[in-house]
Amino acid sequence: MIVSIIGLGLIGGSVGKRLKEVGFADLVLGVDLSDNNCAKAVELGLVDETVVYQQAIQRADLVILAIPVDGMTKLLPAMLDAIDEGTTVMDLGSTKEQICQVVEGHENRKSFVAAHPIAGTENSGPEAAFSSLFDGKTGIICDAEKSQRSCYELAKSCLLNLGMHIIEMDSQSHDLHIAYVSHISHISSFILGQTVLEIEKNEANIFNLAGSGFASTVRLAKSSPQMWAPIFKQNKKHISKALGAYIDNLAAFKTLLDEGEEDAMISCMDNANEIRRVLKGIDSKKRTDSPIKEEVV
């Protein structure tokens, strides 16, 4: 099995490292626009060797796209034009609807599997990659019925070998739900970080007074803007709706605060505390369910 990974940052590098460790791939090839990323990926053992793009897609049984989502929409149609019969292409983008739309109707659409591993950190680049990044996390496969069965099974086996459990949904539903549970969290973190930097001009005060709550809330603000801006742009319809609801709730809470409505604020926060029950259920499920529910090959 030869796997080619296009994009050798946190996600692509972590995929390569894990697939090498578990023996899923006999050979992992890497491609990246940055010569430094290529050299570092080989040095860190994330890939076996780096090659030019054309070699990567011609030699691979499985091509994995781990680049920013705007690059995926530009590259995918031409990639499907160029692959040999029997090659599977899988993307790992955080949006799915536009990515699936650009290959809709393509004669090799059946060779493409749209996937999204719900995993990551605030760090980027090959130095940030580690093989356990995906352990116990959810891998989403979208519009599975449009992929050839053999391609679907290979992509699913890859995700299982990464240590993920798999769910399926259509690409439109994916983007709707992910706007609320992922994308709005990143926007909130970015804007909170911006707000604090604008209001608190004394960096020493931020350093000395900020507690763990602030640090955990703005952690995502350290993420790569170059990666996240295209994600927000592609999913703007759903994110805008999510942000609207979030802003309405913030404005309502501000009114309660301004008017000194302590009981109403407590009631609001009590309602929000229900998220603890939801998250506890998620943690419990992760502990009781093996991330790999099927035979890994």
pLDDT at 296 over 50: no
Q: Is the whole-model pTM more than 0.75?
A: yes
What pLDDT does 209 receive?
Answer: 60
Mean pLDDT within 214-243: 90
**For residue 160, what are its two tokens?**
């299982």
Q: Which of 2-6, 48-52, 282-286 has the lowest mean pLDDT?
A: 282-286
pLDDT at residue 212, rounded to an integer: 66
Q: Decide if pLDDT at 293 tops 60.
A: no
Q: Which residue has the higher pLDDT, 286 or 12?
A: 12
Examine the pLDDT at 162 and tell me if it is beyond 80.
yes
Q: Report the C-alpha gap between 211 and 2 in whole angstroms.
A: 47
Rg (CA), the chain: 21
pLDDT for residue 173 is more than 50? yes
- Both tokens assigned to 71: 């690059």
Instruction: Say which DSSP state 246 is in.
Output: H
Q: Residue 136 above 60 pLDDT? A: yes
Give the range among 80-89, 198-207, 280-289 with minimum mean pLDDT.
280-289
Written as six digits, the tokens of 187 are 């926007």
Task: Give pLDDT tens digits for 140-159.
Answer: 999 999 999 999 999 999 99
| Distance of alpha carbon 102 from alpha carbon 95, whole angstroms | 13
* H/E stretch holding 141: strand 138-142
pLDDT confidence bin for 206, thresholds 50/70/90 = low
Mean pLDDT of 256-285: 84
pLDDT per residue as tens digits for the range 34-79: 999 999 999 999 999 999 999 999 999 999 999 999 999 999 999 9
* Backbone conformation region of residue 261, classed left if phi is above 0, alpha if psi is from -120 to 50, else beta: beta
Of residues 21, 117, 22, 135, the one with CA closest to residue 64? 117
CA distance 2 to 144: 23
